[in-house]
Copies of this chain bind each other. A is one copy, B any other.
């Protein structure tokens, strides 16, 4: 379904600002609390926070993050979930979202209704009230920008810094081929992130959005290099499917496709890894794989990661 319409009565401009805002509040329903906690005042008002606050912002842009093949509900779900994945990547939980839309005059009201209903459903599922927003015209296209405010579960939020040489590298789920559906059907790893933030042996955490080959640089400590075992990389079935189509190795898809929205983290070298992995398996059914460790130099037989490329934005 296209976000744009040739039918003037279905165009967003047919409604006028006040009626459009009223419609949006109806579409959001219970996902949007009344002001001053939600939409309707100059700012949304949130209670004070006990623990460190988290802030992240990510958009979905037509032609960039989705196309006409993706249902509008799924577009909105992807928008909220990619921000939730960033909150998961610090070990926090979501508190509130605000959403700003920039849309061409020919954006379809039918499409927009489904978009907001999808946002509402996902917001309710993840306990994330939509507390504010803005709608603005632009000449062409559709862009929705969501800012998510979260909070750590305790005094500690896990960052990308903290790994040391010798630490083991872990990844959740399986990687690659997300374009076949995972890029909007994924589940943000909120419970897993929160659990990891409570484990002292976990030293750093991030989510995978641009592909392991590119993202892992952010966790790599100075003077170290990731020595990964190619055989250990959890290659998704979708990556193999894509590989069969385009003749590129499935591993290349796993390392470079991006939009995996899985967690990548490191565990201290001295930790009891068996106990750690057992504790994980008692708590989660989510797949967990140790893919290697940080070493001073590339280990013998280790995957030459620099030969692979992640997703390049603004190409």
- Contact residues of A with B, CB < 8 Å? 12-13, 15-17, 20, 35-36, 40-59, 61-65, 85-87, 89-90, 92, 96, 98-100, 102, 131-141, 143, 145, 147, 149-150, 157, 159-161, 206-207, 312-315
| A90 contact set on B, CB distance < 8 A | 41-43, 45
A137: B residues at CB distance < 8 A: 61, 64, 313-314
Task: Report yes or no: B35 in contact with A86, Cβ–Cβ below 8 A.
Answer: no
With both beta carbons as reference points, the residue of chain B lying nearest to A52 in the complex is identified as: B45
Closest to A83 in B: B43
Least Cβ–Cβ distance between A112 and chain B, in angstroms: 12
Taking a contact as CB atoms under 8 Å apart, the answer to whether B159 and A314 are in contact is no
Known contacts A140-B139, A160-B35: A98-B57 contact under CB 8 Å:
yes
Q: Is the CB of B313 within 8 A of A131?
A: no
Q: What residue of chain B has the Cβ atom nearest to residue A85's Cβ? A: B42
Docked complex Cα distance between A45 and B41 (Å): 26
Contact of A147 among B41, B98, B161 (CB under 8 A): B98
Q: Are A42 and B207 in contact (CB under 8 A)?
A: yes
7 residue pairs A–B, Cβ–Cβ below 8 Å: A44-B54, A48-B49, A57-B133, A102-B145, A140-B141, A143-B143, A149-B149
Closest chain B CB from A58 CB (angstroms): 6
- Report the nearest B residue to A206, measured CB to CB: B42
Cα distance, A57 to B135, chains bound together (Å)? 10
Chain B's closest residue to A210 (CB) is: B17
* CA–CA, A161 and B312, complex, Å: 47
- Contact assessment for B42 and A312 in the assembled complex, using a CB-CB cutoff below 8 Å: no
- Residues on B with C-beta less than 8 A from A139 are 63, 140-141
Residues of chain B contacted by A36 (CB below 8 angstroms): 157, 159-161
Q: Is the CB of B58 within 8 A of A134?
A: yes
Given A61-B138, A138-B141: A56 in contact with B35 (beta carbons within 8 A): no
CB neighbours of A49 from chain B (8 A)? 48-49, 53
Given contacts A12-B314, A17-B313, A314-B20, contact A100 B59 (CB under 8 A): yes
Which B residues lie within 8 Å of A12 (CB)?
314
Say whether A48 contacts B48, CB under 8 Å.
yes
* Smallest CB separation, A239 vs chain B (Å): 23
